[in-house]
Every structure is written in structure tokens, then in C-alpha cells.
């Protein structure tokens, strides 16, 4: 864990003092955490995770995956907006156009479902 926190801090070009101030702890505490002589409590671990936009598992060396829930949510929102645009277009179609669209999509996917007509 000590190397991850230091690595993340250096990626952002922050001093221990600057990061400690942001986290509301003193520089000595952060130094001890980075050296491995102290362990952050759960709240500090969550604060570090949010600040660096990584998972707590990444900080704890339990995962190499850096994605956070915020990043996943952002990605899902992007897809949701695309789906909403597609639904809006589909809703503007008349019933025959909707049926044709549905059948076309099924044929593209090799699905033998004609319930959309």
C-alpha cells in the first residue's frame, strides 16, 4: 500500500504536505503511511480513493484495476444517453417502421424473433 499512495501522489506531482493538507491530516502521518510504518484508517482510505479516482482495492494492492465507481457511472451515463437518443428516434417512427427496424436488428444479430412485428 505504501508504494501505491506514494506512486499516485507523485503522478499528480504533489508534495506530501500538499496531499496531507487536502486530506486534513498532517504531513508526518502521510509520511508514515507512505513508508509503511502506519496504516490509513477506513475513512482516510476512502478519501484517498476519491481523491485519486481509483478503487480502494487498488490502493491496498488487492487489484490492478484503477477504475472507480465514479468512472463506471460516467461510462454508464454515456451509454444511457446513447440509448435515450435511439429510443427517441424509435418512438418517432410509425408502427410499420418500428416493425421493420426491429426485424432488421434481429436479422443483423441472427435472432429469429418476429414478435416485434
Cell of 54: 481509483
Q: Is the dihedral of CA 81, 83, 89, 91 positive or negative?
A: negative
CATH architecture, domain 2-59: Orthogonal Bundle (1.10)
Mean pLDDT value across residues 42-56: 90
The reply to whether the predicted model has a pTM over 0.85 is: no
Residue 81 has what pLDDT?
Answer: 86
pLDDT at 62 over 90: no
Distance, in Å, from the CA atom of 36 to the CA atom of 30, rounded to the nearest integer, reads 10
Amino acid at each position: 500500500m505504501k508504494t501505491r499512495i506514494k506512486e499516485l501522489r507523485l503522478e499528480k506531482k504533489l508534495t506530501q504536505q500538499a496531499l496531507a493538507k487536502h486530506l486534513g491530516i498532517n504531513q508526518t502521518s502521510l509520511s508514515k503511511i507512505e513508508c509503511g510504518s502506519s496504516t490509513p484508517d477506513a475513512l482516510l482510505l476512502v478519501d484517498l480513493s476519491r481523491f485519486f479516482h481509483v478503487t480502494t482495492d487498488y490502493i491496498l494492492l488487492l487489484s490492478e484495476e484503477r477504475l472507480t465507481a465514479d468512472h463506471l457511472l460516467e461510462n454508464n451515463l454515456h451509454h444511457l444517453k446513447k440509448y435515450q437518443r435511439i429510443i427517441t428516434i424509435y418512438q418517432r417512427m410509425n408502427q410499420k417502421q418500428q416493425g421493420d427496424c426491429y426485424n432488421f436488428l434481429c436479422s443483423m444479430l441472427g435472432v429469429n424473433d418476429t414478435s416485434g412485428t
